[in-house]
Amino acid sequence: MLVVGCGTVRLPGGTPPPAPSVEPEASPAPLPEPPQTRTPRVAKRAPAPPVDAVPRVERIRQGAPNHPYVIRGESYEPDDTDVPWFETGVASWYGEPFHGRRTANGEVYDMHGMTAAHKTMPLPSYAVVRNRVNGRQVVVRVNDRGPFIDGRVIDLSFAAARKLGIRGLGEVEVRRLTHDEIRAGSWKKLPQTMAVGEDRAKLE
């Protein structure tokens, strides 16, 4: 006979019923982390210094772009022979507005390349340009025409001006490398910086 009292059920023989098993509630899985909303910072590196143009003997083109031409009523007669060239004067530079445009000899202007423009130097040519203020010098490939402003002798690419330390205008010496000089490799012996005040003879 079953006796029920105070909510306790007794089985015959007085053995209490087994306690009900209670399983612990499973703890909820952790929520996934929200995606990153910030881009990891990348350390900014200083841009590598531009590398000088490497001179090589290139055929001077007869005719365009070495034909005589007129700009703003001023006539210019480029040389089309392998002549030595030396001059001093003011250098300027041209950059982003001309980046990607065609140069006088049909190439694409790259403001990050070591190039330059000259009004009458044979195209293409290679020239050593020296900053007369700080003594820095670079080798550039002349592949364009300009600058068409009185008193300026050469228009440098952005990269060439940067390497020379020219921000606006600069006083420079310009010397064209002849084919014989290129073959002899004399340009390889030029230091990156020369003492301010050294004359033309030291450049040759």
Of the two residues 202 and 185, the one the predictor is more confident about is 185
Per-domain boundaries in the chain: 69-203
- Per-residue pLDDT at 49: 73
pLDDT of residue 201: 40
Helices (H), 98-172: 158-164
Write out the H or E segment, with its range, that includes residue 138: strand 137-144
Mean pLDDT of the chain: 81
Q: Any idea which architecture 69-203 has in CATH?
A: Beta Barrel (2.40)
Q: Which element (helix H / strand E) includes 74?
A: strand 74-76
Residues 183, 199: Cα–Cα separation, whole Å: 24
* Cα separation values, 77 from 81, 83, 111, 178, Å: 12, 14, 26, 19
> Residue 20: its pLDDT value, please?
52
The pTM (predicted TM-score) of the whole model is 0.72
Work out the end-to-end distance of the chain between its first and last CA atoms, rounded to an integer number of angstroms: 127
pLDDT at 189: 79
C-alpha 182, offset from chain centre: 26
Question: Per residue in 64-117, pLDDT tens?
Answer: 899 999 999 999 999 999 999 999 999 999 999 999 999 999 999 999 999 999
Distances in whole angstroms, Cα of residue 11 to Cα of each of 1, 19, 20: 8, 14, 16
Name the least confident of 39-53, 85-99, 107-121, 143-157.
39-53
Residue 145 has pLDDT above 50, yes or no: yes
Tokens (6 digits) for 183: 């073959």
Residue 26 predicted with pLDDT over 80: no
Give the Cα separation of 51 and 63 in Å (integer).
31
Please state whether 183 falls in left (phi above 0), alpha (psi between -120 and 50) or beta.
alpha
Cis omega (within 30 of 0) for bond into 12? no
Between residues 199 and 88, the one the model is more confident about: 88
Q: Residue 98: CA atoms inside 13 Å, Cβ hemisphere, count?
A: 24
